[in-house]
Amino acid sequence: MAVAELSPSYKTQLNASRLSFLSTHVPIRRRFDVRPRPRHKRDGIYCSVTSNQIQAPVSIQTEQPNIKSECYGVFCLTYDLKAEEETKSWRKMVTVAVSGAAGMIANHLLFKLASGEVFGPDQPIALKLLGSERSFQALEGVAMELEDSLYPLLREVSIGIDPYDIFQDAEWALLIGAKPRGPGMERADLLDINGQIFAEQGKALNAVASRNVKVIVVGNPCNTNALICLKNAPNIPAKNFHALTRLDENRAKCQLALKAGVFYDKVSNVTIWGNHSTTQVPDFLNARINGLPVKEVIKDHKWLEEEFTEKVQKRGGVLIKKWGRSSAASTAVSIVDAIKSLITPTPKGDWFSSGVYTNGNPYSIAEDVVFSMPCRSEGDGDYELVKDVKFDDYLLTRLNKTMAELLAEKRCTAHLIGEGIAVCDLPEDTMLPGEM
Ligand SMILES: NC(=O)C1=CN([C@@H]2O[C@H](COP(=O)(O)OP(=O)(O)OC[C@H]3O[C@@H](n4cnc5c(N)ncnc54)[C@H](OP(=O)(O)O)[C@@H]3O)[C@@H](O)[C@H]2O)C=CC1
Ligand SMILES: O=C([O-])CC(=O)C(=O)O
C-alpha cells in the first residue's frame, strides 16, 4: 500500500552507513506509535500513507513485502535525544488529524499547530494530513514545508488519502476538506456531496480514531456535516463533535468593539446561535462590553438588530468580494481559538460559541441537530452548555428561523444519517456566510 520515499535532499545528507541501516534494519512498527521509545529514538518527521493508486517514487525498500506502510524520508531518521534536556518535561504526544490539509485554511492552521501555539510549548505533536488523489502532490508540498520549518515539537507528519489510515488513533480531527459550492450548484447537491464525505469520515473515525477524539467540522455546511459525521460514528460520544462557529463569534466581537470604540478584548459573552449560515444569530442581548450589557453601552438598538446582525451573517461574503477567496487565515485563527477554549478553563463568567449536538439542551432548541450555543469548559476537552442566558422576542424569532433551516438541512440529508429518504425543502434563502 504505501511506497517509501526519501526526499532527495535528505538522501544526500545521509551517509552510506545510515542509508544501509535504513534499507535493511528499519524496525517495522506501527507508523503512529507515539509511546515513549526506549533509548530516545525518534522517528523522522515525514511519513507517507498512500493508496495503491498513488505512485510515489520508491527509494527505500524494507525487504518486507507485506508491510502495509513504512516510514520514509526524514521520518526514517533516528536521533539520540539524550542531549535534549527539554524533552524530558514534555507531555505525551498528541495526534491531530486534519482533512483538506492541502487547502487554504489548513495552510495557515498546520503551522500554528506545529509551532506549539495551540497545544502549548511542552506538547509534542503528530500531524496526520488527509488529502485526495487530486491534492496529493500539494500535500507532499505541505509536508515539505513543515519539514523545512524545523519545529521542535513536530515529531511526526504523515500524509495520505485514506481516512481509515489517517484517522488512526487521532485525538483531534479537524475536518476542513469539503467541496466548495460551484456556480449553479443547488444547495441540496452541496449537502449531498459534502454529506457523503462526512458520512465516510464519520465511519472512519468510528473505526480507528481514539474513543475520545474531539472533532471540529469546518467544511461547509459545517453544522449538518457535523451531524452527519456524528451519526456515522455511534461509538464516539456525540458531544465530542463541534461545528466551527467561532469565526462568527470573533467577527461579532470585532463589530461590537468597533461600534463601542473599545478594544475587542473588552467584549465578552458573545453567543452565535444556530447555523453557520446567513440565518445565524449573533446574540447582543446577552453579550457584554466592559462587563456591561451591550444594549447599555450601544444605545443604537436599530443598529444592533439590523446592521450588526447582517454584518456578522454576511461578513464571509463581503470578504470574498474583496479578497477573491474565502476567509482562510481568520478561520485558522478561529479553529485555534476553538481548540484552546476546550483545553483551557473558560474565564469566569464568560463563554464561547460552538456548534454542538442539541440533545438535552436547556433552551428548548430542537433535539438531534448541531446548533451553535454558548459553552463553558473546564479545560479538559469537554464542555457544558451555559444555563443563565436570557431570551427576548427578537432573539426567539431568529432562533426559530435558524432552527427551521437546520431541520430542513437534516431532512435533506436523511439518507446519510440513517433516517430514510431525503426530502429537500430548504428555505430559498439558505446561504453560507460566503454566499451572497
Ligand atoms: N466554518 C467556518 O467558519 C468556515 C468554513 N469554511 C469552509 O471550509 C472549507 C475549506 O475551505 P478552504 O480551505 O478555504 O478551501 P480550499 O478549497 O482551499 O480547500 C478545501 C479542500 O477541500 C478538499 N475537498 C474535499 N472534497 C472535495 C471535492 N469533492 N471537491 C473539491 N475539493 C474537495 C480539497 O482537498 P482534497 O482534494 O485534498 O480533498 C481542498 O483542498 C470549505 O468548505 C469552506 O466553505 C471556510 C471558512 C469558514
Ligand atoms: O461560505 C464560505 O465558504 C466561507 C465561510 O463559511 C465564512 O466565511 O464564514
Please name which of 304, 313, 326 lies closest in space to residue 245, comparing C-alpha atoms. Answer: 313
Q: Say what the pLDDT of residue 61 is.
A: 36
- Please give the full DSSP string across 341-385, using - where no structure is assigned: HHHSPPPTT--EEEEEE-TT-TT-PPSSSEEEEEEE--SSS--EE
In this model, does residue 216 exceed pLDDT 50?
Answer: yes
Instruction: Tell me the per-residue pLDDT of 254-300, one tens digit each, with 9 for 90 and over.
Output: 999 999 999 999 999 999 999 999 999 999 999 999 999 999 999 99
Tell me the CA–centroid distance for residue 337 and ligand 2, in Å.
17
Tell me the CA–centroid distance for residue 433 and ligand 2, in Å.
5
Q: Say what the pLDDT of residue 180 is.
A: 82
Q: Is residue 427 very low, low, confident or very high in pLDDT (cuts 50, 70, 90)?
A: confident
Domain ranges of the chain: 246-416
Active site residue 242: no
Q: Is 432 in the pocket of ligand 2 (CB under 6 A)?
A: yes
Q: Say what the pLDDT of residue 435 is.
A: 74
Query: Hey, what amino acid is at 47?
Result: C
Q: Say what the pLDDT of residue 82 is.
A: 55
Q: CB of 279 within 8 A of CB of 401? A: yes
Q: Is 278 in the pocket of ligand 2 (CB under 6 A)?
A: no
Q: Is 434 in the pocket of ligand 2 (CB under 6 A)?
A: yes
Ligand 2: which of 216, 280, 310, 331 to mutate, most ligand atoms within 8 Å of CB? 331
Q: Of 410 and 321, which is predicted with more confidence?
A: 410
Ligand 2: which of 250, 326, 330, 431 to mutate, most ligand atoms within 8 Å of CB? 326
Q: Say what the pLDDT of residue 190 is.
A: 87
Share of the chain above pLDDT 70, in %: 79
Instruction: Tell me the per-residue pLDDT of 336-358, one tens digit each, with 9 for 90 and over.
Output: 999 999 999 999 999 999 999 99
Calculate helix-pair angle for 104-115, 329-343, nearest 10 degrees: 40
Please name which of 114, 136, 141 lies closest in space to residue 125, comparing C-alpha atoms. Answer: 114
Q: Say what the pLDDT of residue 101 is.
A: 97
With respect to CATH, is domain 246-416 assigned 3.40.50.720?
no
Q: Say what the pLDDT of residue 81 is.
A: 56
Tell me the CA–centroid distance for residue 256 and ligand 1, in Å.
29
The protein residue with its alpha carbon nearest to ligand 2, atom 2, reads: 434
How does DSSP classify residue 306? I
Q: Of 415 and 67, which is predicted with more confidence?
A: 415
Tell me the CA–centroid distance for residue 326 and ligand 2, in Å.
6
Report the SS3 class of residue 394. helix
Tell me the CA–centroid distance for residue 228 and ligand 2, in Å.
19
The protein residue with its alpha carbon nearest to ligand 2, atom 4, reads: 434
Instruction: Tell me the per-residue pLDDT of 108-131, one tens digit each, with 9 for 90 and over.
Output: 999 999 999 999 999 999 999 999
Q: Say what the pLDDT of residue 18 is.
A: 26
Q: Of 78 and 267, which is predicted with more confidence?
A: 267
Q: Is 221 in the pocket of ligand 2 (CB under 6 A)?
A: no
Mean per-residue pLDDT, 403-423: 95
In this model, does residue 207 exceed pLDDT 50?
Answer: yes
- Helices (H) and strands (E) in the chain — how many of each? 13, 15
For the chain, the first-to-last Cα distance in angstroms comes to 44
Instruction: Tell me the per-residue pLDDT of 81-105, one tens digit each, with 9 for 90 and over.
Output: 555 666 678 899 999 999 999 999 9
Atom of ligand 2 nearest to the CA of 181: 3
Q: Is residue 2 very low, low, confident or very high in pLDDT (cuts 50, 70, 90)?
A: very low
The pair phi, psi for residue 343, each rounded to 5°, is -110, 0
In this model, does residue 26 exceed pLDDT 50?
Answer: no
Please name which of 207, 119, 226 lies closest in space to residue 166, comparing C-alpha atoms. Answer: 207
Closest-approaching ligand to the CA atom of 432: 2
Q: Say what the pLDDT of residue 187 is.
A: 74
Q: CB of 180 within 8 A of CB of 432? A: no
Residues 6+ apart with CB under 8 A from 8: none
Q: Say what the pLDDT of residue 431 is.
A: 78
In this model, does residue 374 exceed pLDDT 70?
Answer: yes
Ligand 1: which of 134, 312, 333 to mutate, most ligand atoms within 8 Å of CB? 134
Closest-approaching ligand to the CA atom of 318: 2
What value does the mean pLDDT of the chain take? 83
Tell me the CA–centroid distance for residue 411 and ligand 2, in Å.
22
Q: Kindly name the residue from 40, 108, 276, 415 that is annotated as catalytic.
A: 276
Q: How far apart are CA 197 and CA 192, in angstroms?
A: 9
Strands 288-289 and 267-268: antiparallel
Q: Say what the pLDDT of residue 24 is.
A: 24
Atom of ligand 1 nearest to the CA of 246: 3
The protein residue with its alpha carbon nearest to ligand 1, atom 30, reads: 179
Mean per-residue pLDDT, 5-15: 29
Q: How far apart are CA 280 and CA 373, in angstroms?
A: 11
The protein residue with its alpha carbon nearest to ligand 2, atom 8, reads: 316
Q: How far apart are CA 205 and CA 210, in angstroms?
A: 8
Q: Say what the pLDDT of residue 297 is.
A: 98
Q: Say what the pLDDT of residue 83 is.
A: 59
Tell me the CA–centroid distance for residue 20 and ligand 2, in Å.
50
Q: Say what the pLDDT of residue 54 is.
A: 35
Q: How far apart are CA 98 and CA 106, in angstroms?
A: 8
Report the SS3 class of residue 237. coil
Instruction: Tell me the per-residue pLDDT of 379-390, one tens digit each, with 9 for 90 and over.
Output: 999 999 999 999
The set of protein residues with a Cβ atom below 6 angstroms from ligand 1 is 100, 102-105, 131-132, 134-135, 176-180, 193, 197, 218-220, 222, 244, 247, 276, 326-328, 331
Instruction: Tell me the per-residue pLDDT of 29-46, one tens digit each, with 9 for 90 and over.
Output: 223 333 333 222 233 445
Tell me the CA–centroid distance for residue 65 and ligand 1, in Å.
36
Take residue 273 and report the three cell numbers written for it: 446561535
In this model, does residue 304 exceed pLDDT 50?
Answer: yes
Q: Is 223 in the pocket of ligand 2 (CB under 6 A)?
A: no
The protein residue with its alpha carbon nearest to ligand 2, atom 3, reads: 434
